[in-house]
Copies of this chain bind each other. A is one copy, B any other.
Amino acid sequence: MATIKQVASKAGVSVSTVSRYITHKGYVSAEAEVKIKKAIQDLNYSPNISAQSLKSKKSNLVGLLLPDISNPFFPMLAKGVEEFLREKGYQLILGNVNEDREIIKSYLQFLVQSNAAGVITTVDFKEEFPEFDLPAVTVDRVGKKSEFGVFADNSQGGFLAAKAVVEAGAQHIAVVRGPLTTDNTNERFSSSITYLNQADVNYQVFQSMSYDFSEIQAEAEELLKGKERFDTIILPSDVHAVAYMQEIHRLNKHIPEDIQLIGYDDILMSKYVSPALSTIHQPAYEMGHEAAQLIYKLANNQSIDQKQIKLKVFYVERGSTRKIKENENE
A208 part of interface (Cβ distance < 8 Å): no
Shortest beta-carbon distance from A6 to chain B in Å = 15
Shortest beta-carbon distance from A285 to chain B in Å = 9
Contact with B along A95-135 (1 / 0, CB 8 A): 11000000100110110111100000000000000010000
User: In the complex, are the beta carbons of A54 and B48 less than 8 A apart?
Assistant: yes
Residues of B within 8 A of A78 (CB): 69, 94, 96
User: In the complex, are the beta carbons of A93 and B96 less than 8 A apart?
Assistant: no
A86 part of interface (Cβ distance < 8 Å): yes
Q: Count the A residues whose beta carbon is within 8 Å of the partner chain — how many?
A: 47
A47 to B110, CA, bound (A): 10
Residues of B within 8 A of A106 (CB): 86
Contacting chain B: which of A155-163, A265-273, A289-297? A265-273
Tell me the nearest residue of chain B to A113, going by C-beta: B49
A79 part of interface (Cβ distance < 8 Å): yes
A51 part of interface (Cβ distance < 8 Å): yes
A231 part of interface (Cβ distance < 8 Å): no
User: In the complex, are the beta carbons of A46 and B112 less than 8 A apart?
Assistant: yes
User: In the complex, are the beta carbons of B268 and A70 less than 8 A apart?
Assistant: yes
A167 part of interface (Cβ distance < 8 Å): no
A142 part of interface (Cβ distance < 8 Å): no
**Contact of A50 (CB < 8 Å), options: B1, B54, B272:** B54
Q: Which of A59-80 contact B (CB under 8 A)?
A: 59, 69-70, 72, 74-76, 78-79
User: In the complex, are the beta carbons of B82 and A50 less than 8 A apart?
Assistant: no
User: In the complex, are the beta carbons of A131 and B44 less than 8 A apart?
Assistant: yes
A308 part of interface (Cβ distance < 8 Å): no
Q: How many copies does the complex hold?
A: 2
User: In the complex, are the beta carbons of A50 and B93 less than 8 A apart?
Assistant: no
Residues of B within 8 A of A131 (CB): 44
User: In the complex, are the beta carbons of A46 and B94 less than 8 A apart?
Assistant: no
A83 part of interface (Cβ distance < 8 Å): yes
User: In the complex, are the beta carbons of A79 and B96 less than 8 A apart?
Assistant: yes
A180 to B95, CA, bound (A): 29
Tell me the nearest residue of chain B to A94, going by C-beta: B94
A13 part of interface (Cβ distance < 8 Å): no
User: In the complex, are the beta carbons of B69 and A109 less than 8 A apart?
Assistant: no
User: In the complex, are the beta carbons of A76 and B70 less than 8 A apart?
Assistant: yes
User: In the complex, are the beta carbons of A103 and B86 less than 8 A apart?
Assistant: yes
Shortest beta-carbon distance from A167 to chain B in Å = 26
Shortest beta-carbon distance from A20 to chain B in Å = 19
A245 to B51, CA, bound (A): 54
24 A-B interface contacts by CB (under 8 A): A48-B115, A49-B110, A49-B114, A50-B50, A50-B54, A50-B114, A50-B115, A70-B75, A70-B76, A70-B268, A72-B72, A72-B75, A72-B268, A78-B94, A79-B96, A82-B95, A86-B103, A86-B106, A91-B110, A92-B93, A92-B94, A268-B269, A269-B269, A273-B274
